Structure 1
Amino acid sequence: MKRFLRFYGAPMVIVVLGLVVAFLFMAPAPPKRVTIAGGASGGAYAATAENYARALRDEGVAVDVQTTNGSVDNLNRVKSRQADIAIVQTGLAADVGSNGAQSLGAVFYEPLWVFARAGRTAEQLQDLAGLRVAIGPEGSGVRVLASLLLSEVGVTEDRYTAVPLAGQAAAEALQRGEIDAAMVVSGPTTAWIAALIADRNVQLMSMREAHALARRHPYLDEVPLYRGVIDLAAI
């Protein structure tokens, strides 16, 4: 035994130490299956999730994309381990808590648009008091953001009628006159955003509070939109 330990003891210790170091410090192998919490069908989050899913499948990873109610629902699914990855609105974790979920980075700018029926005063968020305003359904990030910003300017929930519509459904309701205003989140290339801008019965609010809100909330950015950038014919 002494002869065995003399010749093989040191190499065995080195091997054991190497295994311990590898176990403690080496990154685990990538998973072979992941679940992504996307968003509502036809929305920007769902499309982004599908783009990532295709890229992962090309690398041999099986991907399941979940249809959800939006950012809050997505974050809750990650926190409860119903999903591995989620597309979530920036700043949401600061408002509702992350519970161990970690951000991998920002993906794209997501503008908050405020549209109102033409003929109404719509120069600041306070002008939405007393109106029927689409702020998104429960479980959506836009509802959390819209409620926060409205409350900050003194337009509390009892001072307007919250309508649980988002995206294209909110846009169409506004065009039909079923609501007075809509706070929606979507990219500038979305077809229904362009349709609202081109609609003479609808106006886009240029928020006076934008600069102050961006200073108060680091996850918000003030982004200028110059006339004609989206549709010169709509000027």
Structure 2
Amino acid sequence: MGSIKQDIAETYLGLYETAQEKWGDFTQFLREAWPLLLILLIALMGVWLYADPPPPRHVVMATGQPGGAYHALGKKYAAFFEKKGITLELLETKGAQENIEFLADRKNPVQAAFVQAGVFNPHGIKGVQSLGTISYDPIWLFYRGVAVKGDNFQEIKARAQHFLNSRMSVGEKGSGTYAQAMQILKANGFDVGSHFLYLSGAKSVEALQNKEIDAAFIVDAFESPNVQTLLADPSLNVSAFDRAEAYTRLLPYMQILNVPAGGFSLIRNFPPRDIKLMASTTNLLIDDRMHPAIQFLFLEAAREINGKSSFFSEHGEFPSFKHPGMPESPVALHYEKNGSPLLMTYLPFWLAEMANRLIFVLLPFCALAYPVLLTLPGYRNKRMRRKINQLYGVLKTYEQELTTNFEPEKKDEYLKKLDFLEYQAIQLKVSKSMSSDYFALRTSIDYVRSCLNRGFHPFQLQEDSSGV
């Protein structure tokens, strides 16, 4: 047992001495090579800033019309970004079609936008990527008059024909409402009515309340002020989509939303029966040149704001990456599998982003700089030999001075100079390969000291009194 303990102790001691030696070599290397390391670090930082610049502090996002859900949602995103130190400028637009046009224009400053699925052709747009879908956009058809029974197809067809010949708003051209209304009308074989009005959401609400129109398409969230105003009006009805399954076959981007009887108002028992609504989805689209850190910030905003439960969605349902509509951003793919970078969870955004970017510089720097510099031909030996040669030069100067201009009364001053020179030599931290040069220097210093202590004139033979 004693021999095993001894072997363990010797092994431990050997490992400890090896680690101590390596650490000593490393610290010595830092003291010797810090100028080169600093130059290399500055060069890497320059490449880093050029290849991976910091995220912008100002981002422009297209939302929608005032009073609509996109406009209200944009304000929530702007407040989230403000807490992270980023200014999110909101640009009011006519709607989804204009949003996608702004985003696809490479010269336009818009970098992000809320866009409804189904209002654009993904094959005809370049430079735009998706961060996923973030909410449902129900398609509402509000109308005046007697409620249409869902099982009476002839009555539905007659009422639809009535709407086509009456004053009905189908949304402002360029908006998502207009695009969705046209899709539904065409799917039912209807042409554009001669009395159609192209009103914005807010104007459609006003016109319905003032009885200036008979019906209006509105594509907006359940929580939007426009929709809530119309749902609260007892003189208005909502058209159900009883053939919702058929719409999803014809228009694959459509989603079915179920509303139970009394879901909108228990007091009025509105709607009076279970109904189905059709809905598009809101896509969070971005310019594919957007900085990855800003993309992560948008995804975090979507999770915090749109991930809450709502009338039609469950908690955590959004952001969703099932039907993006456009090519997914690589950042969104990473987020879907791994979530946000770990540092963003625990650090402020700007600090986490900077640390995350620095890691990709410091890791290669630490992994490559040390071994690369160590392998430079004779780098360390040359530096150490130069220091030793400098001390040899000083010693040679002292020796010449003692040879030509020796003054006995200054002997103690010379000895102090040699003592200081030896102190400088002792401070040198040399590797084992340079030990012979190190001890040769100290021997030379001791030799000069011995000569100085030998006699009256240490470096000259004392002349014989006879002159021989």
Query: Which TM-score tier does this pair reach, normalised by the shorter chain?
Result: 0.7 to 0.9
Q: 1:1-235 residue pairs with structure 2 within 5 A?
A: 29-80=54-105, 81-94=108-121, 97-119=124-146, 123=156, 126-127=160-161, 128-157=163-192, 159-235=193-269
| 1:65 positional shift | 1.0
How far apart, CA to CA, are the structure 2 residues paired with 1:234 and 1:95? 43
Q: What residue identity is the alignment partner of 1:176?
A: N
Is 28-37 or 81-90 further displaced after alignment? 28-37
* Structure 1 residues 191 and 32, CA gap change in structure 2 (3 angstroms): closer
How far apart, CA to CA, are the structure 1 residues paired with 2:69 and 2:123? 22
Q: Which runs of 5+ in 1 are unaligned?
A: 1-14
Residue pair 2:202, 2:226 contacting (<8 A) in 1 also: yes
Structure 1, residues 14-69: CA drift from partner, whole Å, max 9, x if none? Answer: x8xxx7xx97xx86643222101111122211111121112122222222111111
Is 122-131 or 163-172 further displaced after alignment? 122-131
| 1:200 positional shift | 3.5
How far apart, CA to CA, are the structure 2 residues paired with 1:227 and 1:190? 21
| 1:96 positional shift | 9.2
How far apart, CA to CA, are the structure 2 residues paired with 1:101 and 1:142? 22
* Structure 1 residues 65 and 193, CA gap change in structure 2 (3 angstroms): closer
TM-score by length of 2: 0.42
Structure 1, residues 131-187: CA drift from partner, whole Å, max 9, x if none? Answer: 221111112111011012101211111x35221123232123123221111111122
Residue pair 1:79, 1:100 contacting (<8 A) in 2 also: yes
How far apart, CA to CA, are the structure 2 residues paired with 1:38 and 1:136? 16
How far apart, CA to CA, are the structure 1 residues paired with 2:83 and 2:129? 25
- SS of residue matched to 1:84: strand
Q: What residue identity is the alignment partner of 1:164?
A: Y
Q: What residue identity is the alignment partner of 2:169?
A: A
| 1:75 positional shift | 1.0
Is 159-168 or 173-182 further displaced after alignment? 159-168
The structure carrying a bigger helix percent of its residues is 2
How far apart, CA to CA, are the structure 1 residues paired with 2:124 and 2:166? 30
Q: Which has the larger radius of gyration?
A: 2
- SS of residue matched to 1:47: helix
* Structure 1 residues 192 and 231, CA gap change in structure 2 (3 angstroms): farther
| 1:100 positional shift | 2.5
How far apart, CA to CA, are the structure 2 residues paired with 1:51 and 1:192? 18
Q: What residue identity is the alignment partner of 1:147?
A: M
How far apart, CA to CA, are the structure 2 residues paired with 1:182 and 1:99? 33
* Structure 1 residues 212 and 160, CA gap change in structure 2 (3 angstroms): farther
| 1:234 positional shift | 2.0
Q: What residue identity is the alignment partner of 1:123?
A: I
- SS of residue matched to 2:186: helix
Match of residue 423 from structure 2? none
* Structure 1 residues 58 and 120, CA gap change in structure 2 (3 angstroms): closer
Residue pair 1:133, 1:160 contacting (<8 A) in 2 also: no
| 1:214 positional shift | 1.6
How far apart, CA to CA, are the structure 1 residues paired with 2:188 and 2:56? 46
* Structure 1 residues 212 and 116, CA gap change in structure 2 (3 angstroms): same
How far apart, CA to CA, are the structure 2 residues paired with 1:85 and 1:34? 8
How far apart, CA to CA, are the structure 2 residues paired with 1:126 and 1:132? 12
How far apart, CA to CA, are the structure 1 residues paired with 2:123 and 2:204? 24
| Identical aligned residues as a percent | 30
Q: What residue identity is the alignment partner of 1:69?
A: K
